[in-house]
Amino acid sequence: MTTVSLTIGSIKLASPVILAPMAGVTNVAFRTLCREQELAKTGTVSGLYVCEMITARALVEGNEKTRHMTTFGPDEHPRSLQFYTTDPEYTYKAARMVADNNLADHIDMNFGCPVPKVTRRGGGSALPYKRRLFGNIVAAAVKAVAGTGIPITVKFRIGIDDDHHTHLDAGRIAAAEGAAAVALHARTAA
């Protein structure tokens, strides 16, 4: 039997399985249950378990609910969190805060959320269409964690709709700005 592993920057996982962040679902209790199930069934905890998506600006501004969402169990390693962001300055500050306060071992950037309340504000799956802003946000996160070993990954969709595909540019831009990996949700926001 061949074992498949996954390396994301400085993080080496024995399994390529990643529990995707789900709003209102992937809190510390749910992630703990998933890890317990993996351990019971396989004898190891080898994948990556990402916490709920948090807003970079709310983290920087000290929002109590957001801070609570960044809670990890004592046995959770690597600790992975996902940012929703539309602003390079807040992205930089939030990623720097994660690094300075040892809040996580990995940061994933969410550019795939299709929810209208997110896309109406220019975020989520709408943001890669604004290529320069997209690149500036990824660059800000990478710069904020430079030298810390915290990898930045980027998740995006094929595009907004069938007439507006952005995935190829988004992948190239993310790689050029220093993202350790990209993930494609292979559907459009529509």
Catalytic residues: 113
Q: Which residue has the tokens 């109590």?
A: 64
* Dist CA 44 CA 40 (whole Å): 8
- Within 10 Å of residue 189's Cβ, how many Cβ atoms? 23
Which tokens in the block code for residue 52?
Answer: 């709920």
Residue 78, preceding bond cis, omega within 30 degrees? yes
Element (H, E) at 7: strand 6-8
Contact predicate 159/166, CB 8 Å: yes
Position of tokens 């795939």?
112
Residue with structure tokens 């459009």? Answer: 188
